[in-house]
Structure 1
Amino acid sequence: MSSKKALVTLAGDASIDDILECLERDGGCIVKNMLPQVTIDGLWSDLADVLDVAPNGDGSFVGRKTKRISGLFSRSRHMQNLITQPQFFGAAEKHLCTPFKYWLDGVQHVSTPALQMS
């Protein structure tokens, strides 16, 4: 018996809060027409050769059908279009840049992470 659950598909005008709700509840979502087709085609074209030779994951942590590659920004100029897409960037910023408290030498501090893309 499989307990796999399909990802929710959201409309292209989905709010960042709707995207984050799915991300937190389900681990991800699909946003229709989030990227222009030219960006998607460019990513596939630029990354196809390296994806063809990349091995599949070898366990439940990485996934058995997941392919991991590095250096995406040096491999495709289309990555900039992905990471600057307003819904993608907004959801990443809101999810990752949440202030957190920590103690250092008996003093409580608050820090807010910042997104950095390189």
Structure 2
Amino acid sequence: MTETTLLAFLAGLIAGAVLTYLIGVKRRDAPAEALRNPSKYKRADPEVARTLDEHDRDLAATDPRWVEGEVGELATFTYADRDGVVTERRVSNWRSLGAYIEGVCVNRQEERTFRKDRITGWSVQP
């Protein structure tokens, strides 16, 4: 082997090792990032994402926890926003409209709209 060939071989070997390390680090960090920001990892194709989101909302509109047009004084629930941030919410004077719950969020002190397919732990207080 000539000196130039040996240097090219060693450079390729080092580059391969660095690339393998970086891929391993990225792969190790991906699950934690996916938990913090699931929408980033959920679906790649925006058109597919839009269709699936519409399907999710259609299913949420028929969820037996809510009846179309139902209203209530106070409800508590856990809500995951589009970035996957989970918060506990209390909503007063709420109403069910299609795939959404609208009402005054006690936490934020303003009117808010929540997607039903992002709500868990729904509880209505008398």
Greater RCO structure (CA 8 Å; 6+ sep): 2
What TM-score comes out, normalization by structure 1 length?
A: 0.27
Q: Which has the larger radius of gyration?
A: 2
**TM-score normalized by structure 2?**
0.26
- Whichever structure has more strand as a proportion of its residues is 2
Structure with more helix by fraction: 2
